[in-house]
Amino acid sequence: MNSEVKSFDGQLKSAGETQPLFYEAKRIWDRRPDEQPYALLSDCESKKQNRYGVKIDLLDLSNGAAPQNRSMYINENPAVGDNPNRNKQHGFHFTADNCIGCHACEAACSEKNGNPAHISFRSVGYVEGGTYPDYKRMNISMACNHCDDPVCLKGCPTRAYTKHAEYGAVLQDPDTCFGCGYCTWVCPYNAPQLDPIQGQVSKCNMCVDRLEVGMKPACVSACLGNALNFGVIENVPENREQILTQIPGFPDPSITQPNIRFQQIKSMPNEVTRTDSMPVKYHKGEDGQFKPVVDQKKGKATHWNFKRLSSRENPLVIFTLASQAAIGAFVALFLAPWLGLSSIAAFESSAAFIPMLITLFVLQSWGLFLSTMHLGKPMRFYRGFNNLRYSPVSREGLGIAAFMAGLGGFTFFKLVNLWLEWPLVDVLAQLAGGFAVIAAMGGLWYMHKSYRIKARPFWNHWQVITTFFGTCFSLGALVLAAFLVPVALLNDGDIAGLVRVLGAMAFIGLAAEGFGLYRHARYLNTNNGEGGASHYVQCTTFGKTYALRNGLLAAGALLALVLALAPVNAIAAVSGLALLGLMTLCALVIGRALFYVLVIPTTMPGAFFWKNKGFEEHARDIGLANMPQVGVVPHLH
């Protein structure tokens, strides 16, 4: 670089005279001698703790566990930054009144991080309202908020995330990530970016390399509207007067205690809308805060949209249903003798018993295999148990794996028992079976916990319990029926008793699920936020499909009840069970597919093209997405 710089009074000066050089031999970041004030961190003082009572000094917060002047080893560089505030929690400040939506922040970020068009650590969307010419658009630029309570870190099963005592940065290591995308589910701000091509997540790194040499992040330094700023959290930037925690379109900060503050003084219309396809708008409440409400963008017409039931999460539809079916069938089989369900218990002596156990094992393996293949990097599947301390996904995985081990053990010992009728073998079988039952219950519980996500209000309801456990009963009963009824027919067994028990079991499952869904719908009808929006989509875009599922579920429950209570002859019972099986399978597959496609996260508003699900879908449908510069990943086959 030229050694002379020109100051704005037009005089040529030597650079060395005006500014000292900050960097060391191996610079963490190439800080130029003439960087402008807007690009430099300038916090002099900071508060002791933030508004949530969390200490801002992170050495303090770590209770001495984190040493001072520790190197961050950015790209294995042992240099230690000279930023005097490096152990304080930092955060972005966004003056919403000023953002012009010029994309400079997003561009600077993507340029620095080398991101392809379909990935962006920072995105600008907007809300708008009013009537011409009294019209207001408010652009919102949003990246990672490096939260006090990083739900991504807690949710990640691989422990790819670290919250650092330096700057409080929540950083993610793509080399650890196996691409399950769970962090993208739990984050309310859509900060982690799952790249379906790379098969892994990456995210905002707070530009800690720039911070180490006293410079603000690239996005902030690039801002052309003087909207984005950065510094020690709870500090009011120069020329600003507010440090709000919310603006219209921003999710409830109580979910994660995000380290972002806002200024938004200019008055906004009482209602602002989103230009993207999400059926959500924001209405000003009595407290002056904007709350999400349903925006009936597509009217009230109901549709089937069967094709749209298929999503990226199809493997999870199969995984959850298969797991629940296998667990339900096995637990019933295992507990039947204790519960006095002789019609089921009798099956153990049949030649189909071991094949059935193997079938359950295969069913569970198939589900697990699909869910593993659904990972961005399936070969890293073993990392799924790395975060048992926090992640429900890790625990779910462990539970299911342990269930399979127990089931395998049980099967093995039962098989051994066929030849060696040692009491010890049977005890071992019972121990393995008991272990499988306990593991399965744990796995199921955490499977449910994995969906109780605050940033996904449609899921965050207790009906997930009734549905998941209900499915164990209903699908479990049907799996049992598939083996037990033919065997009973061949052996002249207690068909009537068996049908009564299986009918009752199916009824319990379907009724529980139905009751949960009924209460869920009631809750969604009164919930105005993203949950309500999901329900709106459920009742319109998928309205007919939704009605079909509900009808099937109700009819199935009724039929199961009839089978459980009314004395019917064998032919009627078998055909009744077959019909029940068909109806239940349809209802549950549709229901589970809906469960995944309907969820609307609390994410930030998108723009007309960028971060607009509706446009992304359209671009894929018409082939526009095949051009990489469109920034939409095409259908991956």
Binding residues for another protein restricted to 472-491, rule: CB under 8 A: none
Residue of the chain from 42, 49, 113, 257 that contacts another protein (CB under 8 A): 113
Are 530 and 458 contacting, i.e. CB atoms less than 8 angstroms apart? yes
Query: Closest by alpha carbon to 480, among 398, 396, 365, 584?
Result: 584
DSSP reduced 3-state for 382: helix
Least Cβ distance, residue 172 to another protein (angstroms): 8
Angle between helices 423-449 and 314-339 (to 10 degrees): 140
- Asked whether 81 and 247 are in contact (CB, 8 A), the reply is no
Q: Which is nearer to another protein, 99 or 587 (CB)?
A: 99
Site for another protein in 80-99 (CB under 8 A): 98
Sites for another protein among residues 25-84 (CB under 8 A): 30, 32, 34-36, 38-39, 58, 61-62, 65-66, 72-76
Applying CB under 8 A, among 56, 88, 106, 597 the residue interacting with another protein is 106
Nearer to another protein, 31 or 535 (CB): 31
**Applying CB under 8 A, does 629 fall inside the site for another protein?**
yes
List 48, 111, 424, 522, residue binding another protein (CB under 8 A)? 111
CB 54 within 8 A of CB 148: yes
Contact 427, 391 (CB under 8 A): no
In whole angstroms, what is the distance from residue 236 CA to residue 220 CA? 15
CA 429 centroid distance within chain: 37
Residue selected from 79, 252, 624, 634 as contacting another protein according to rule CB under 8 A: 624
Mark the segment that binds another protein (CB under 8 A) among 404-412, 530-538, 540-548, 620-628.
620-628
Q: What residues between 115 and 154 interact with another protein by CB under 8 A?
A: 115-118, 128-133, 135-137, 139, 150, 153-154
Residues 185-214 touching another protein, rule: CB under 8 A, are: 205, 207-209
Q: Does the N-terminal peptide bond of residue 150 adopt cis geometry, omega within 30 degrees of 0?
A: no
Sequence-ordered alpha helix ranges (H) in 136-267: 151-155, 182-186, 208-212, 218-222
Among 84, 285, 551, 628, binds another protein (CB under 8 A): 628
Nearest to 339 by CA among 512, 475, 501: 501
Residue 134, H or E segment: strand 134-142
**How many of the chain's residues bind another protein (CB under 8 A)?**
106
Least Cα distance to 256 among 243, 246, 269, 242 occurs for: 246
Helices (H) and strands (E) in the chain, counts: 18, 14
Nearest CB to another protein, comparing residues 102 and 415: 102
Both tokens assigned to 226:
């003087």
Q: Are 173 and 383 in contact (CB under 8 A)?
A: no
For the segment 579-608, give every residue that binds another protein (CB under 8 A): 607-608
Minimum CB separation of residue 596 from another protein in Å reads: 23
Footprint of another protein on 273-332 (CB under 8 A):
275, 277, 297
Work out how close the CB of 142 gets to another protein at its nearest, in angstroms, rounded to a whole number. Answer: 15
Tokens of 590: 């549709």
Minimum distance between the CB of residue 557 and another protein, rounded to whole angstroms?
A: 39
State the nearest-atom distance from the C-beta of 567 to another protein, in Å: 56
- Report the alpha-carbon distance of residue 398 to residue 182 in Å, rounded: 16
User: Which two tokens mark 452?
Assistant: 């109780």
Q: Residues 6 or more apart from 532 whose CB is under 8 A from it?
A: 293, 294, 524, 525, 526
Among 83, 221, 391, 534, contact with another protein (rule: CB under 8 A)? 221
Closest separation in Å from C-beta 344 to another protein: 46
Question: Which residue of 86, 93, 163, 216 would you call a contact of another protein, by CB under 8 A?
Answer: 163
Cβ-based nearer residue to another protein, 60 or 82:
60
Q: Is 11 in the site for another protein (CB under 8 A)?
A: yes
Least Å from the CB of residue 96 to another protein:
12
Rounded to the nearest whole angstrom, what is the least distance from the CB of residue 286 to another protein in the complex?
Answer: 25
Subset of 376-395 contacting another protein (CB under 8 A) = 389-390
SS3 label, residue 140: strand
